Copies of this chain bind each other. A is one copy, B any other.
Amino acid sequence: MRGNIFLIGIGPGNKDYLTGEAKKTLEKVDIIIGYKLYIELIEEFIQDTRLVKGQMTKELERVNLAIDHALEGKDVALISSGDTGVYGMAGPLLAELDKRELKTEEKPAVRVIPGVTALLAAAAKLGAPLMNDFAVISLSDLLVPWEEIEKRIKSIAKTDFVIGVYNPSSKRRKENFARFREILLKERDGATPVGLVWNAGREKERVLKTTLEDLPEEKVDMLTTVIVGNSKSYISDKGDFITPRGYQQ
């Protein structure tokens, strides 16, 4: 008897971001596998014995551990921060499962449970910056060539998308974010609002509203979510970052 695999996004911060479905599922499975930091976030309401902490860079190891447990008949939850479908574990798990030499009836049933991705939590902290068409881009060139990323930045900058940025910077690639800003400044006004949120919903949460011109590139790290407004975005008197939907104009 095969077990089930549940791909779960736990939200970006504390347990208040969990959906009812995610919480109910976490309470009933046999094993919960995730990167150490995320497991620690849910430890306050889940009993310890079912938790398996993995290492940061070992995504495929966690994926295959989840599949192996399910093949032994266990119900397994594989955890991502935010939403499992947005730069999370859903893709790697489904792709690895597809590669295994198993008959269809032998494969574990998989259920993807959506969550609040970091971009939505960051937007909520800033006001309402995503209210028109937006694009989501990762500046990590570990998996996508930088030339490709640069082409994408140019195209969305030119056509006035609000832009949500994941992985703006890491220790190894400080220059990507500076280059991102440089490309945008060629297409957009320096006064375009930019919002930065560090650790949305976590203890060390920090929110900064600035402009493209004044963007402090050196303070951005892997845990920062960045949102760049479109040509109609503004900061209100009350300090909210607002992108108009249109009908009030």
Which residues of A are interface residues toward B (Cβ below 8 A)? 11, 15-21, 23-24, 59-60, 83-88, 90-98, 104, 107, 110, 112-117, 120-121, 123-125, 127-138, 142-144, 148-149, 151-152, 154-156, 158-161, 236-238, 240, 242-248
Contacts and interface: CB of A to CB of B under 8 A. Distances in A.
25 contacts: A16-B19, A60-B247, A86-B120, A87-B245, A90-B124, A90-B131, A94-B128, A97-B238, A104-B238, A107-B238, A110-B240, A112-B128, A114-B124, A115-B120, A117-B120, A132-B138, A133-B136, A133-B137, A133-B149, A135-B135, A136-B136, A143-B246, A143-B247, A154-B159, A156-B159
A135 B156 contact: yes
Contacts of A110: 240
Given A142-B247, A156-B135, A20 B24 contact: no
Nearest to A237: B98
How many subunits of this chain does the assembly comprise?
2
A111 B202 CA distance: 16
Given A90-B128, A112-B127, A237-B104, A18 B17 contact: no
A218 to B, nearest CB: 24
A86 to B, nearest CB: 6
A64 to B, nearest CB: 12
Contacts of A124: 84-85, 90, 112-114
A18 B11 CA distance: 12
B17 A131 contact: no
B21 A20 contact: no
B60 A248 contact: yes
B24 A16 contact: yes
Scoring A90, A110, A142, A143 by chain B CB atoms within 10 A of each residue's CB, the highest score goes to A90
A114 B104 contact: no
Nearest to A90: B128
A152 B161 contact: yes
Given A15-B20, A155-B156, 20 more contacts: A11-B19, A17-B114, A18-B20, A20-B23, A84-B128, A85-B130, A88-B131, A91-B128, A93-B128, A94-B236, A98-B237, A110-B240, A112-B127, A114-B116, A133-B144, A143-B246, A151-B159, A152-B160, A155-B155, A156-B159
